[in-house]
Each structure stands twice: as structure tokens, then as C-alpha cells.
Amino acid sequence: MLRALRVSRSWDVDRMARELRRAADEPVAAHHALVRMIRSWEDRKHKVSERYLLLYEQVFGAEWPLNGTRPDPAAVLERARASPGPAEITAIEETVLAAGASPDAAAALFAGIRDLERQLAALRELAERLFGEARDE
């Protein structure tokens, strides 16, 4: 999570250390030590202390996932895995059209597809809020 937040802003570890230092209102670890600490936290070798968690929250603001305003990334990914993708929607559409479905069945299918597309758009927006810029598919 810490690495993903840092990388979402295209920051290297040195820049992250500078940002944490800038957010602090009292002295923090020396730059080289802070860089080592950040790497250790990102690799989950050590737990981030409350002091530095508060600094991370200041640096990332609304993007900070522990402030209660962000959904759980694992839940978002699970929802995304359960939803059909664009290729699946197209395959369903082509199958029904090829079978010569009745107009009522086709209308119901297209309504379902529009609903799935809205769900995909909502998931994409949520992923963008969680992980930064949208990634090309």
C-alpha cells in the first residue's frame, strides 16, 4: 500500500523522504535513515510507527486509505473479478444476436449490458481513486 501510494505520484524513495520531512513539524530521522525506513516499511519488514503514519496521512490527504474515506482495495478487486469484462459482454451480445432472439429478449439483454457497463464504469472510477490514473487495458 505504501509503495503503491508513492508510485501513484511517480515519486522515488528520496522524494517520499523529503515529503515526509516537509510534513513534519518536528525533527525526523536523517535523510539516509528515513530512506532505509521507507524501504523497510514498503517491504513490510517493519511496522510503521504512529508518528510516521500521521505524516503519511498529511502527505497523501484524501488518498490515504486509513482515514476511513477509502474502500478496501481487496474488496474492490474482488468486485472487479466477479464482474464480466468488455470481452464477455460482447460475446454474450453476439451469441444472443446470432441465435435470432426475440425483440423482447434482445431488449432485456441490452438493458442488462447497459447495467453491466455502468457497473464497470463505477469499478473503474473506484480503482482510479484507489490507485491513481487509469491504466490502459
Q: How many helices (H) and strands (E) does the chain have?
A: 7, 0
Q: Tell me what percent of the residues of the chain surpass a pLDDT of 70.
A: 66
Same domain, 58 and 101: no
pTM as predicted: 0.47
Alpha-carbon distance of 98 to 18, in angstroms, equals 60
Could you give the CA distance from residue 47 to residue 105 in angstroms, rounded to a whole number?
55
Is 120 inside a domain boundary?
Answer: yes
Instruction: Name residue 29's amino acid.
Output: A
Question: Per-residue confidence at 136, pLDDT binned at 50, 70, 90?
Answer: very low
Query: What is the C-alpha separation between 109 and 99, in angstroms, rounded?
Result: 13
Average the pLDDT over each of 5-9, 64-68, 109-113 and give the range with the smallest value. Answer: 64-68
Residue 90: alpha-carbon gap to chain centroid = 26
Domain membership of residue 44 as a residue range: 2-67
What are the grid coordinates assigned to 61, written together? 490527504
Residues 6 and 63 occupy one common structural domain: yes
